[in-house]
Structure 1
Amino acid sequence: MSMLQVEMDSLGRPIELYYEDIGYGPPVVLLHGYPFDHAMWEEQAFALASGGCRVITYDRRGFGKSSKPADGYNFNRFADDLKALLETLDLHDVTLVGFAMGAAEVVRYMSRHLGQRVTRFALVSAVTPGMAKSKDNPDGADEAKFDDICTRIRADRFSYIDQFVDQLFDDSGASRAVVDWVKSLAEPASRIAMIGCVRAFADTDFTGDMGAAINLPSLVIHGTHDRIAPFASHGRRTADLLPGSVLRTYEGAGHGLFVTHGAMLSEDLLGLVRTPPSQTLPPPVF
């Protein structure tokens, strides 16, 4: 069991991240989605390690086996946690991969820390450039929607998890066993962390971060039937805002494509890792 201390709380108690580090080769760091933990990457971690990569997965603060402090649930802090991980493990020429909320953390890291140690990145089922309704995102959620989610989590977070995961795999053909497994990944999450992240979604717009993003080989991977982060307002807009990115569209895929299109996702990520930093990615194959 590997734990990394990233800071101390106001009472001097350590705040630690749980991480796993497997394989040998170019490093790939995988950032999980909300409200799961590192284990959601099981398929991709296996494929990347088998394909000659060193694969690092970790649990965001408040989730999985990481510490569950009473505060610190904002994207600046998440980006700083990622920076601490990369520096402590002394990783270089890193491929960063973020799913959903994890994709937003990648974008904030690239902006806040100038992409240090990173040579390429992928945003999968991204919630960028923002979840809240705005002039540029008329289909986003209004404040009442975020308030309702927080109320449901306070009242019965397990019921909320059940409904959320069902929405990930709606009409996807995923087996009941797999769906139940994904639900189990959210059970260790802190209620405080779950609510704190909902507020972070509501309060954060990443448009400015993406405009400042470093022009590196990058993939935006998104399903056309994503109900949680709809393709037009998230996948397409994210790709349009990122210089030098390539958009991979998964026809018919929902939000949970890390399961439903797991092998395809693994192949795309391996292709990204193998792209020399000085080159652009090949165009998508339709």
Structure 2
Amino acid sequence: MPYLKLRDGAELFYKDWGNPNGAIVTFSHGWPLSSDNWENQMVYLADRGYRVIAHDRRGHGRSTQTWDGNNMDTFVDDLEELFAHLKVKDAVMVGHSHGGGEVTHYLGKHGTKRFKKAVLVGAVPPLMVKTSANPEGTDKSVFDSFRQAMHHDRAQFFLDVPSGPFFGFNRPGAKKSEGQIQSWWRQGMNTSFKSAYDSIRDFSETDFTEDLKKINIPVLVLHGDDDQVVPFEASGHKSSKLLPQGKLKVYKGGSHAIHNINTDEVNKDLLEFIKL
């Protein structure tokens, strides 16, 4: 399995699938998951001639469980090292949830020299937490409850999240997938406690507003209007207006995990946007 040794000695696990000479699409995963959460999209695009790259964020999945550096600046600097190593250029960058924040901050900090387009899926920007300037946000007490739940019984909390709001399995008539729940749990439990815990603050309190304004390439924003984790009105709706070249698609009744639940539709939308 391929790893890249980073500037501080940490090792970043990554997947590099498909046509080595094909157009490149990169994927950034959500909290507290790994690159495995993107496997349907990666296989779909790889089968159509693309080169698809996804990493496990430091502290997550198969990457080194560092104690420090569980913050957005470190995460995007890791990505820049990986992209330089893999000679990424003229690519499309895709991110879900926390990974959508990673995409946004990467493009805001490192620029768009390697990328021609981006896609945000159920992404956390511009800012999740409620503040006086962001009254539509989620109250900090919700994120405090996440931290409390992790300290009390992380294993159970990491079953409760996918069993309910993440995939929308708590909605009447929802078809629950035990496989999706167990996959989420496995990925979450493979992430270090420290990284998962620190990342709650990172995804909820990082303000991506200025990053969004800087992104000078087309960005497709995909968001479910029944997203119980990253509510649409405070995130996808606002981000699409802040992006200079933002395009919004709302999935009616869509959960936070539209790429896992509405797989065929998301794959089709990704391919159409990439090919434009």
State which of 21, 24, 28 in structure 2 corresponds to 1:27: 24
Deviation at 1:117, TM superposition (A): 0.5
State which of 163, 181, 185 in structure 1 corresponds to 2:183: 181
Deviation at 1:137, TM superposition (A): 2.6
Q: Which runs of 5+ in 1 are unaligned?
A: 9-13, 276-286
CA distance in 2 between counterparts of 1:246 and 1:173 reads 30
1:174-213 pair list within 5 angstroms = 174-213=176-215
Aligned partner of 2:95 in structure 1 is: 98
Figure out how many residues of one structure are paired with residues of the other and give that number.
Answer: 269
TM-score by length of 2: 0.94
Aligned-pair identity (%): 33
Aligned partner of 1:228 in structure 2 is: 229
Aligned partner of 1:114 in structure 2 is: 111
Deviation at 1:211, TM superposition (A): 1.4
Query: Does the C-alpha gap of structure 1 residues 202 and 126 become closer, same or farther in structure 2, counting only changes over 3 Å?
Result: closer
TM-score by length of 1: 0.90
Aligned partner of 2:275 in structure 1 is: 274
Aligned partner of 2:46 in structure 1 is: 49
Deviation at 1:26, TM superposition (A): 0.3
CA distance in 2 between counterparts of 1:231 and 1:142 reads 15
Q: Which runs of 5+ in 2 are unaligned?
A: none
CA distance in 2 between counterparts of 1:132 and 1:30 reads 25
User: Is 1:58 paired with 2:50?
Assistant: no
CA distance in 2 between counterparts of 1:136 and 1:262 reads 35
Contact 1:29–1:97 (CA under 8 A) maintained in structure 2: yes
User: Is 1:124 paired with 2:106?
Assistant: no
Deviation at 1:109, TM superposition (A): 0.6
SS of 2:73's equivalent? helix
Contact 2:90–2:115 (CA under 8 A) maintained in structure 1: yes
State which of 165, 168, 174 in structure 1 corresponds to 2:166: 168
CA distance in 1 between counterparts of 2:132 and 2:210 reads 15
**Alignment RMSD (CA, Å):** 1.3
CA-to-aligned-CA distance 1:47-88 (integer Å, 9 cap, x gap): 010111000111000110000100101111111111111100
Aligned partner of 2:2 in structure 1 is: 2
Contact 1:132–1:201 (CA under 8 A) maintained in structure 2: no
Give the residue type in structure 2 aligned to 1:108: H
Give the residue type in structure 2 aligned to 1:18: F
Contact 2:124–2:204 (CA under 8 A) maintained in structure 1: no
Deviation at 1:155, TM superposition (A): 2.2
Aligned partner of 1:154 in structure 2 is: 151
Deviation at 1:7, TM superposition (A): 2.1
Deviation at 1:111, TM superposition (A): 0.7
Q: Which moved more, 1:146-155 or 1:48-57?
A: 146-155
